[in-house]
Chains A and B, each alone.
Chain A
Amino acid sequence: MNAIVEYIKDVFGGMKSLLTGMTVTVKYFFSPGEIVTQQYPENRDTLKMFDRFKGNVYMIHNDQNQHGCTACGICEMNCPNGSIEVIAKQVVVDEKKKKVLDKHIYRMGMCTFCGLCVKACPTKTLAFGQEYENSVYKRSNLTRILNKPNSTLAN
């Protein structure tokens, strides 16, 4: 007798759970308002990447064309693919020799966007951009110099 009760419970329980699932999908069917698909070329002007999107690596500059890079080279050492190259130069400031950044070369073609450089940067001057249209016609165009021309070290 108990087995029969269990059996009937099974049948109705199963039906109930199936109907629960079907109500979920039918809700989505009749309210397609939350479509997550982006129709890319059409919404190019309004498409905004989410905050954590890892686009291009760039160097943060303030409005006086100053950056925080001390040319320490930690990003270069951390990069698993060797896509970063930091070239420093020696300048004489107040009769003291000082190492400042000359060129921060970033080769996007070799970058896997792992984020180790951004994470390791001691002055937090490297960051991920929101750029997503990164295709270019020549491979050499993928090599970028991250510090802007004539930029100086922020104090």
Chain B
Amino acid sequence: MFLYDFTELTSTIHAGLETTFGEGLLTTTIEFVIAGIVYLLFFAVFGLFAVYLERKVCAIIQNRVGPNRVGPYGLVQTIADFVKLLMKELIPINNSDRFLFNLAPFIVITATFLAIGAIPFAPGLQMLDFDIGILYVTAVSSLGVLGILLAGWSSNNKYSLIGAMRSGAQIVSYELSAGLSLMTIIVLAGTMQFSQVVAGQADLWFIFKGHIPAIIAFIIFMIAGTAETNRGPFDLAEAESELTAGFHTEYSGIKFALFYLSEYINMFIIAAIGTTVFLGGWQPFQIPGLETFNHIMWYCPPVLWFFLKAFALIIIMMWFKWTFPRLRIDQLLKLEWKYLLPINLINLILMATCVLLGWHF
């Protein structure tokens, strides 16, 4: 069926383009453009919805109502906000490094683009399938900090600079934890290719397959992932109470919107990686042995399964943000270097032992 396997759809488009434009550069370019537009549309729609979701979740947690004036249940609120941001003036800053200042938001958004390309949404719905997919995503998603550093540096503002430097310190340390927790699962999966990782979870998700070490790795990954997206309680880079708005203090209009959007897309990327690596990607929930149950689970199409799990993780990250107070910079680094990293290393050894001795399901 259409929603179950996208391979047929993509190959039909490919064949159609080949017959019209012939094999070669032109077809490839058109395919690239189509994929780019699809991702761009997805970014826009997802960004608008995620901002709405965040505001609503935060409101409910704080016993408020949240956006409820524009459209039914305030659904159109974020679109109205976006239109407002589009029409706002782009304020040039005196003595700022104009080139880097304008470049920074695009680096941030490019990094998110590069990362999302490798994520499998459904069978056949994946742009790049490297055999080092996980390494590629972790490498590329940390490029975003370059944009944040540039934004802080070029703004000619002490708050921006401090925010950017904090963000740098944060990413450098938490990238380790995120990488090592993914490594734990790579040991179990035996591959770095996303499609293989998902295929390996057809009978049971890795978080259940790897039991204790996998669950520890998942918790560490969620903590490190939240830190990497610069979201609360790790939002030191934009600590409102200390640094006005951190690295994007001087940005306005659409450039600010790009930073804002990239925060939510990054959150989605972390949730998507978490889903793919720990929670079975687009694989439905399966329990070996229960044939009828497994069959019923397949009635929900894989795309929906993927987004269901991703949004569950996103809501967990929002739950973090609106529960915990912000960490101080020394607490942040202490948490990483004194707690997460040693636990992670021990966990990696534990997982290796489990795999070697066959102590997994």
Add 5 more A-B contacts to A10-B339, A25-B319 (CB < 8 A): A11-B339, A18-B324, A28-B60, A35-B63, A35-B65
Asked if residues A28 and B339 are in contact (CB atoms below 8 Å), the reply is no
- Of all chain A residues, the one with the shortest Cβ separation from B320 is A22
The complex places the Cα of A18 from the Cα of B320 at a distance, in Å, of 9
Q: Report chain A residues within 8 Å CB of B320.
A: 22
Map CB proximity to B onto A26-38 as digits: 1 under 8 Å, 0 otherwise.
Answer: 1011001011110
Q: Report chain B residues within 8 Å CB of A150.
A: none
Distance from A39 Cβ to chain B, minimum over Cβ atoms (Å): 7
Asked if residues A21 and B324 are in contact (CB atoms below 8 Å), the reply is yes
B96 contacts chain A at the CB level, 8 A cutoff: no
Asked if residues A11 and B343 are in contact (CB atoms below 8 Å), the reply is yes
Asked if residues A36 and B323 are in contact (CB atoms below 8 Å), the reply is no
Which of A11, A18, A25, A37 has a CB less than 8 Å from the CB of B64?
A: A37
B86 contacts chain A at the CB level, 8 A cutoff: no
Asked if residues B323 and A39 are in contact (CB atoms below 8 Å), the reply is no
Map CB proximity to B onto A61-87 as digits: 1 under 8 Å, 0 otherwise.
Answer: 000000000000000000000000000
The complex places the Cα of A119 from the Cα of B238 at a distance, in Å, of 46
- Of all chain B residues, the one with the shortest Cβ separation from A11 is B339
Given known A-B contacts A18-B324, A21-B324, A29 and B343 have beta carbons under 8 A apart:
no
Asked if residues B62 and A28 are in contact (CB atoms below 8 Å), the reply is yes
- Of all chain A residues, the one with the shortest Cβ separation from B339 is A11
Map CB proximity to A onto B29-60 as digits: 1 under 8 Å, 0 otherwise.
Answer: 00000000000000000000000000001001
Q: Report chain B residues within 8 Å CB of A18.
A: 324
Asked if residues A28 and B324 are in contact (CB atoms below 8 Å), the reply is no
The count of residues in chain A whose C-beta lies closer than 8 Å to any C-beta of chain B is 17
List 27 A–B pairs whose Cβ atoms lie within 8 Å, in order of A's numbering: A10-B339, A11-B339, A11-B343, A18-B324, A21-B323, A21-B324, A22-B319, A22-B320, A22-B323, A25-B319, A25-B322, A25-B323, A28-B60, A28-B62, A28-B63, A29-B57, A29-B60, A29-B61, A34-B63, A35-B64, A35-B65, A36-B63, A36-B64, A37-B64, A37-B65, A39-B65, A39-B68
The complex places the Cα of A28 from the Cα of B319 at a distance, in Å, of 11
Interface residues on B, range: 10 to 19
- Of all chain A residues, the one with the shortest Cβ separation from B62 is A28
Q: Report chain A residues within 8 Å CB of B63.
A: 28, 32, 34-37
A92 contacts chain B at the CB level, 8 A cutoff: no
- Of all chain B residues, the one with the shortest Cβ separation from A10 is B339
Distance from A92 Cβ to chain B, minimum over Cβ atoms (Å): 62
Distance from B227 Cβ to chain A, minimum over Cβ atoms (Å): 14
- Of all chain B residues, the one with the shortest Cβ separation from A17 is B324
- Of all chain B residues, the one with the shortest Cβ separation from A36 is B63
In A73-114, the 8 Å CB interface with B consists of none
- Of all chain A residues, the one with the shortest Cβ separation from B219 is A15
Asked if residues B339 and A26 are in contact (CB atoms below 8 Å), the reply is no
A24 contacts chain B at the CB level, 8 A cutoff: yes
Q: Report chain B residues within 8 Å CB of A29.
A: 57, 60-61, 319
- Of all chain B residues, the one with the shortest Cβ separation from A21 is B323
The complex places the Cα of A108 from the Cα of B62 at a distance, in Å, of 35
Distance from A102 Cβ to chain B, minimum over Cβ atoms (Å): 48
Distance from A155 Cβ to chain B, minimum over Cβ atoms (Å): 51
- Of all chain A residues, the one with the shortest Cβ separation from B69 is A39
Map CB proximity to A onto B320-349 as digits: 1 under 8 Å, 0 otherwise.
Answer: 101110000000000000010001000000
The complex places the Cα of A34 from the Cα of B61 at a distance, in Å, of 11
Distance from A104 Cβ to chain B, minimum over Cβ atoms (Å): 41
Asked if residues A26 and B319 are in contact (CB atoms below 8 Å), the reply is yes
The complex places the Cα of A30 from the Cα of B7 at a distance, in Å, of 40
The complex places the Cα of A36 from the Cα of B66 at a distance, in Å, of 12
The complex places the Cα of A18 from the Cα of B226 at a distance, in Å, of 15
Q: Report chain A residues within 8 Å CB of B322.
A: 25
> Interface centre among B57, B323, B339, by most A CB within 10 Å?
B323
Distance from A28 Cβ to chain B, minimum over Cβ atoms (Å): 5
Distance from A33 Cβ to chain B, minimum over Cβ atoms (Å): 9
Sorted from nearest, which 8 A-B pairs have the closest CB atoms? Answer: A25-B323, A37-B65, A25-B61, A21-B323, A37-B64, A32-B60, A29-B61, A22-B323
Map CB proximity to A onto B62-82 as digits: 1 under 8 Å, 0 otherwise.
Answer: 111100100000000000000
Asked if residues B61 and A28 are in contact (CB atoms below 8 Å), the reply is yes
Q: Report chain B residues within 8 Å CB of A37.
A: 63-65
In A31-71, the 8 Å CB interface with B consists of 32, 34-37, 39
- Of all chain B residues, the one with the shortest Cβ separation from A24 is B323
The complex places the Cα of A37 from the Cα of B61 at a distance, in Å, of 13
Q: Report chain B residues within 8 Å CB of A26.
A: 319
The complex places the Cα of A29 from the Cα of B315 at a distance, in Å, of 11
- Of all chain B residues, the one with the shortest Cβ separation from A30 is B60
Q: Report chain B residues within 8 Å CB of A39.
A: 65, 68
Distance from B23 Cβ to chain A, minimum over Cβ atoms (Å): 54
Q: Report chain B residues within 8 Å CB of A10.
A: 339
